[in-house]
């Protein structure tokens, strides 16, 4: 038998060793989050460490609100700069065979002394942590400590084993050498996880490690028997591994599993790119060499300089240069440069400013702001005739054939989610992911399509006035909101109109997912709800998909928005929730879901994947749409649905 010839030519391998989708790198695995890769656990580093590995994108409105110059998409255009930076966290690893348990710096020192110089040159940083004695890959510690201020660190293993030693504390020995072992089968749970110090024979289990006050007790601040020994040994270390800094912290951390959902809550800000910012002339200006020179020049100026005067003296020349480079009219170029470069100070925490930000999108979606460039690839809207739709309560329907959304990571929190409403641009109270002088946030952009529905303001007002039960039900959610962690520091009003619009959006998304070919997780909502005294009266919903490639989606959602489809879908969505399989429990509920922030709404009838919902499945009540058993009249659409059923 002839032997197969073996190919001996060396094939270059892809140097990227760990991969993530762009959206993951910005959202759930963003700066400060831990990621469990097959060979080790890493934490996304601060953006300053990977600033040369990004593609720059712009969203002028969002840049001004967040006071940055641009946004960075992880992974640059250069083939050799497609990665972002990570740090190794947690630091403690153990060998599953010999059970040695020590920080990475000790494992690394062993690696340096035991491997050959050839191997050390090939892999100087021990990319895959491993025990050289057992020839096995190391396993990262599954427990860390974190505090509400966003600090995170390794569990205090050495202090723990000596303090908890057989119930009798002892001083930490001079050369701790720990092992991590499991007890007998009879010792299930944390009591069966044993830490030993081979140097001094100290020994302790992980019993009570997840007690929220355990570290206070160990310092003698909550325990009478330990009151004679009061210390700060177990206080938070103030560690920020993602940017290699530490700050003073007076709180006590909590032990948490490495993969716990509450270890990281990202806070994002999203924006639709609308006219006039979506017009193609903006893209041409941003891509010009002159504009990049301008940005570089402005970045070198000090904050004390009169930047506005500096810009105004040169803006005519800049506009002419860009106009020549891109064959444009210099006058509109100048106006756009003034808009882009001259910063207008605003109070980001002001609720009216947040509504103003949304109202700009609302004006574009309703057609009150028109695009001056029909060839825009960021925003194309088609207004439909209302008379072609037999849907009660509708003022206007518009089909958005092209839409671009920018989503930026602006901060995060630990243990508790951000306390403000989801579409706030306020970064106060969050852990900062960047230094103050860094002029960009990590972000990504997606293109898609959508259906915008504007509801009749006056009909909604009349509906609220007709029945006191409507206001009583919304007040129930308002009280629950004020008592919740989310709303304890918020002045937000949970109005009947918000609950109605939000619930209708959920019902339509569930029905559209059966009709348009997109999975339900691919569809998203955007709620536009406010009153005149807040700056702009808005009553609308945008249902859109923004998971397409760089050219957008294929029109499957917009197709369902035409008159031959949407009325049928709308009616089916409402009829399907007249009865929930969890009734009568669901329809008679006085508070269910997250912190009792829903009424007649559950996973069976109303909930969506949380990525689809702006409010993370709260502020829902289908009784506002179809009524209850006792009070069917409180349903905004109950009479309309009854007429349809009677016709059938």
Q: In Å, what is the CA distance from 441 to each residue of 265, 355, 430? A: 17, 22, 14
Q: Which of 312, 341, 370 is the last residue of a domain?
A: 341
* 84 lies in the same domain as 97: no
370 pLDDT more than 90: no
Helix (H) or strand (E) holding 341: helix 330-341
Q: Which of 202-211, 274-283, 451-460, 584-593 has the weakest average pLDDT?
A: 274-283
Q: Which residues, other chains included, contact 185 with Cβ-Cβ below 8 Å and sequence gap of 6+?
A: none
In a domain, 184, yes or no: no
* 410 lies in the same domain as 314: no
Return the bridge partners of 7, or none: none
* 80 lies in the same domain as 97: no
The token pair that represents 262 in the structure block: 């509450």
Q: Give the model's confidence band at 228: pLDDT under 50 very low, under 70 low, under 90 confident, else very high.
A: low
Tally of residues, the chain: 648
* 420 lies in the same domain as 436: yes
* 533 lies in the same domain as 624: yes
Q: For residue 505, which of 523, 492, 518, 478 has the smallest C-alpha distance? A: 523
In a domain, 384, yes or no: yes
Q: For residue 51, which of 21, 72, 20 has the smallest C-alpha distance? A: 72
Q: Which of 317, 341, 365 is the last residue of a domain?
A: 341
Looking at residue 374, its pLDDT comes to 52
Strand, helix or coil at 245?
A: strand
In a domain, 536, yes or no: yes
What is the residue-averaged pLDDT of the chain?
A: 87
CA 409 from chain centre, in angstroms, equals 7
Q: Give the model's confidence band at 342: pLDDT under 50 very low, under 70 low, under 90 confident, else very high.
A: confident
Angle between helices 468-483 and 496-515 (to 10 degrees): 90
Phi, psi of 68 (to 5 degrees): -130, 170
1 pLDDT more than 50: no
Looking at residue 369, its pLDDT comes to 81
In a domain, 258, yes or no: no
11 pLDDT more than 60: no
* 73 lies in the same domain as 99: no
Tens digit of each residue's pLDDT (9 = 90 or more) over 161-180: 999 888 788 889 989 999 99
* 288 lies in the same domain as 435: no
Looking at residue 423, its pLDDT comes to 57
* 404 lies in the same domain as 503: yes
Q: Which of 315, 341, 367 is the last residue of a domain?
A: 341
Q: Give the model's confidence band at 428: pLDDT under 50 very low, under 70 low, under 90 confident, else very high.
A: confident
Mean pLDDT, residues 635-644: 92
In a domain, 469, yes or no: yes
Q: In Å, what is the CA distance from 538 to each residue of 207, 532, 558? A: 54, 8, 22
Extended strands (E) in 133-264: 136-137, 139-140, 143-146, 152-154, 178-182, 193-197, 203-205, 239-240, 245-246, 254-257
Domains: count for the chain: 4
Percent of the chain that is helix, strand, coil (3-state, to 5): 35, 20, 45
* 304 lies in the same domain as 396: no
HSE of 271, CA atoms in CB hemisphere, 13 A: 30
Mean pLDDT, residues 346-354: 48
CA angle centred on 63, ends 430 and 368, rounded to 5°: 115
> Which one has a higher pLDDT value, 632 or 610?
632
* 551 lies in the same domain as 587: yes
Q: What percent of the chain has pLDDT over 90?
A: 57
Pairing relationship of beta strands 440-455 and 70-74 according to DSSP bridges? parallel
Tens digit of each residue's pLDDT (9 = 90 or more) over 255-302: 999 999 899 999 999 999 998 888 888 889 988 999 989 988 887 887
In a domain, 606, yes or no: yes
Tens digit of each residue's pLDDT (9 = 90 or more) over 520-562: 988 999 999 999 988 899 999 999 987 654 455 667 899 999 9
In a domain, 195, yes or no: no
Please, is 524 exposed, middle or buried when counting C-beta atoms within 10 Å of its C-beta (0-12, 13-18, 19+)?
Answer: buried
* 453 lies in the same domain as 484: yes
Q: Give the model's confidence band at 518: pLDDT under 50 very low, under 70 low, under 90 confident, else very high.
A: confident
In a domain, 419, yes or no: yes
* 280 lies in the same domain as 318: yes
**Whether the Cβ atoms of residue 93 and residue 107 lie closer than 8 Å to each other:** yes
Looking at residue 486, its pLDDT comes to 82
Q: Enumerate the H helices of 599-637 as residue ranges.
A: 623-626
Q: For residue 129, which of 104, 157, 109, 106 has the smallest C-alpha distance? A: 104
Could you identify the residue written with the tokens 């629950």?
Answer: 480
Q: Which of 65-69, 173-177, 226-230 has the weakest average pLDDT?
A: 226-230
For residue 643, give its domain range: 351-647
Mean pLDDT, residues 102-107: 94
Q: For residue 624, which of 607, 591, 592, 601 has the smallest C-alpha distance? A: 601
Distance, in Å, from the CA atom of 14 to the CA atom of 296, rounded to the nearest integer, reads 33
HEC string of 30-67?
CCCCEEECCCCEEEECCHHHHHHHEEEECCHHHHHHHC
14 pLDDT more than 50: no
Looking at residue 280, its pLDDT comes to 85
Query: Rg of the chain over CA atoms, in angstroms?
Result: 29
Q: Largest alpha-carbon pair distance within the chain?
A: 91
């Amino acid at each position: 038998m002839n032997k197969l010839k073996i190919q001996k030519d060396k094939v270059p391998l892809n140097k990227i060793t760990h991969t993530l989708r762009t959206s993951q790198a910005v959202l759930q695995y963003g700066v400060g989050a831990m990621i469990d890769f097959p060979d080790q656990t890493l934490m996304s580093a601060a953006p300053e460490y990977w600033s040369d590995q990004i593609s720059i994108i712009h969203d002028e409105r969002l840049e001004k609100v967040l006071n940055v110059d641009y946004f960075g998409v992880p992974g640059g255009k250069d083939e050799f700069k497609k990665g972002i930076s990570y740090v190794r966290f947690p630091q403690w690893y153990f060998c599953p065979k010999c059970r040695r348990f020590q920080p990475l710096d000790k494992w690394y020192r062993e690696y340096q002394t035991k491997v050959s110089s050839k191997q050390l040159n090939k892999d100087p940083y021990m990319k895959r942590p491993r025990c050289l004695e057992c020839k096995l890959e190391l396993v990262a510690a599954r427990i860390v400590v974190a505090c509400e201020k966003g600090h995170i660190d390794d569990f205090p293993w050495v202090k723990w084993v000596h303090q908890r030693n057989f119930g009798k504390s002892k001083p930490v020995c001079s050369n701790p050498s720990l092992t991590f072992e499991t007890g007998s089968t009879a010792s299930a749970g944390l009591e069966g996880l044993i830490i030993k110090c081979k140097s001094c024979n100290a020994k302790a289990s992980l019993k009570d490690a997840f007690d929220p006050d355990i570290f206070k007790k160990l310092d003698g601040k909550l325990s009478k028997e330990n009151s004679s020994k009061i210390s700060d040994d177990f206080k938070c270390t103030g560690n920020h591994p993602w940017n290699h800094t530490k700050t003073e912290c007076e709180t006590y951390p909590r032990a948490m599993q490495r993969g716990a959902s509450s270890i990281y809550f990202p806070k994002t800000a999203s924006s639709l790119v609308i006219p006039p910012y979506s017009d193609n002339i903006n893209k041409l200006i941003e891509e010009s060499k002159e504009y990049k020179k301008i940005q570089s020049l402005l970045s070198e100026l000090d904050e004390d300089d009169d930047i506005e005067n500096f810009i105004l003296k040169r803006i005519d020349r800049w506009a002419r240069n860009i106009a020549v480079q891109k064959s444009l009219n210099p006058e509109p170029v100048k106006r756009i440069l003034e808009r882009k470069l001259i910063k207008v100070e605003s109070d980001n925490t002001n609720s009216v400013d947040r509504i103003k930000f949304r109202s700009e999108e609302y004006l574009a979606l309703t057609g009150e702001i028109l695009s001056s460039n029909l060839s825009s690839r960021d925003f194309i809207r088609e207004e439909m005739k209302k008379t072609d739709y037999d849907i009660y309560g509708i003022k206007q329907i518009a089909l958005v054939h092209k839409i671009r959304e920018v989503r930026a990571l602006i901060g995060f929190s630990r243990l508790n989610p951000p306390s403000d409403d989801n579409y706030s641009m306020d970064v106060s109270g969050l852990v900062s992911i960047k230094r103050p002088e860094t002029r960009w946030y990590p972000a990504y952009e997606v293109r898609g399509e959508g259906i915008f529905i504007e509801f009749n303001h006056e009909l909604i007002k009349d509906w609220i006035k007709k029945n006191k039960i409507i206001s009583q039900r919304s007040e129930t959610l308002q009280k629950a909101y004020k008592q919740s962690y989310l709303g304890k520091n918020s002045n937000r009003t949970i109005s009947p109109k918000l609950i109605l619009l939000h619930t209708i959006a959920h019902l339509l998304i569930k029905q559209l997912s059966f009709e348009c070919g997109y999975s339900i997780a691919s569809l998203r909502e955007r709620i536009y709800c406010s009153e005149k005294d807040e700056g702009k009266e808005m009553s609308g919903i945008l249902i859109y998909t923004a998971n397409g490639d760089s050219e957008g989606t294929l029109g499957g959602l917009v197709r369902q928005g035409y008159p031959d489809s949407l009325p049928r879908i709308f009616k089916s969505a409402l009829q399907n929730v007249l009865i929930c399989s969890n009734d009568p429990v669901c329809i008679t509920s006085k508070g269910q879901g997250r912190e009792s922030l829903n009424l007649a709404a559950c996973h069976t009838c109303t909930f969506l994947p949380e990525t689809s919902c702006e409010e993370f499945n709260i502020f829902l009540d289908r009784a506002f749409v179809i009524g209850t058993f006792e009070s069917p009249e409180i349903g905004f659409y109950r009479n309309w649905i009854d007429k349809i059923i009677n016709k059938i």
